[in-house]
């Protein structure tokens, strides 16, 4: 790699920059697994419910739509770079809502990825719909795909059977519906990010599809949950984000949890 890290500690590295500029500088075929939580393009001036209160849905300029074609071109571009970084047996996970996930699915197939699963992350404590004009959004979709259809990807089947929730009891095959509550306040004690994912969600993803010492990459680092989980379980991590405040939040979370 020819770029200077924003932060580095043992096997945990954060890079400040735009993903489209940073990803081409990372060594090709060097990453075992990628988790990506890209912009959902939801910041359109609308409203949502948070902690029982009506609040703006806007999260920042990074979450605004630039129109379907430009949003799709962006999705295709970062996924193309990610495919080049994955090892032959590597996999990628991408989260999204109806506003973004169909562009992701189309781009994945156009680039030659093979989709393994569509996970429905059910949020039992999801917020109500204030407009009362359609069903309350109670889940996000996560697509899991491998680099090539013939690739022999990592899936820790036995470990996943030991998990337990109301949908997938321990000892049974884990289903593609995951019941996981929204990020608890305890996980936000070092600071808040508007799209922070819960540790439980990333723990399933990381432990299902990687082994110890594997390299995990997150091109939209955010609050650093992917890196935190990777570090907690003996994986190497590379996180990219252009927002310095969020990179600093990731460092605080790492030090607070592991030290």
159: domain CATH number is 3.40.50.150
Asked if residue 2 belongs to a domain, the reply is: no
Structurally, the chain folds into a number of domains equal to: 1
pLDDT reported for residue 88? 97
pLDDT reported for residue 27? 96
| Low-confidence stretches of the chain (pLDDT beneath 70) | 1-2, 41-64, 259
154-208 confidence digits (pLDDT tens): 999 999 999 988 899 999 999 999 999 999 999 999 998 888 999 999 999 999 9
pLDDT reported for residue 44? 59
Closest alpha carbon to 106 in 137, 82, 73: 73
pLDDT reported for residue 65? 77
Asked if residue 107 belongs to a domain, the reply is: yes
Asked if residue 1 belongs to a domain, the reply is: no
Edge-to-edge strands, sheet with 139-146: 7-9, 12-16, 236-241, 215-218, 31-36, 86-96, 139-146, 114-122, 177-179
Asked if residue 213 belongs to a domain, the reply is: yes
pLDDT reported for residue 132? 87
pLDDT reported for residue 42? 60
Structural domain range at position 134: 7-258
């Amino acid at each position: 790699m020819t770029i200077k890290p924003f932060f580095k500690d043992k096997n945990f590295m954060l890079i400040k920059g735009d993903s489209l500029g940073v990803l081409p500088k990372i060594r090709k075929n060097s990453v075992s697994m990628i988790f990506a939580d890209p912009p959902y393009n939801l910041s359109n001036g609308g409203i949502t419910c948070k902690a029982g209160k009506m609040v703006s849905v806007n999260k920042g300029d990074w979450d605004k739509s630039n129109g379907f074609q430009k949003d799709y071109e962006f999705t295709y571009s970062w996924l193309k770079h990610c495919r080049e970084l994955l090892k032959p047996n590597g996999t990628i996970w991408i989260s999204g809502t109806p506003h973004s996930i169909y562009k992701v699915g189309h781009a994945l197939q156009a680039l030659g990825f093979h989709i393994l699963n569509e996970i429905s992350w059910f949020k039992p404590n999801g917020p109500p719909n204030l407009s009362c004009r359609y069903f309350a959004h109670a889940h996000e979709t996560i697509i899991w795909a491998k680099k090539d259809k013939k690739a022999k990807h990592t899936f820790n089947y036995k470990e996943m059977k030991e998990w337990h929730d109301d949908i997938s009891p321990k000892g049974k095959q884990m289903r593609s519906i995951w019941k996981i509550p929204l990020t608890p306040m305890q996980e936000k004690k070092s600071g808040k990010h508007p799209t922070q994912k819960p540790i439980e969600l990333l723990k399933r993803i990381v432990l299902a599809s990687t082994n110890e010492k594997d390299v995990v990459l997150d091109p939209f680092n955010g609050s650093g949950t992917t890196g935190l989980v990777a570090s907690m379980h003996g994986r190497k991590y590379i996180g990219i984000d252009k927002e310095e405040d969020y990179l600093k939040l990731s460092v605080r979370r790492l030090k607070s949890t592991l030290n």
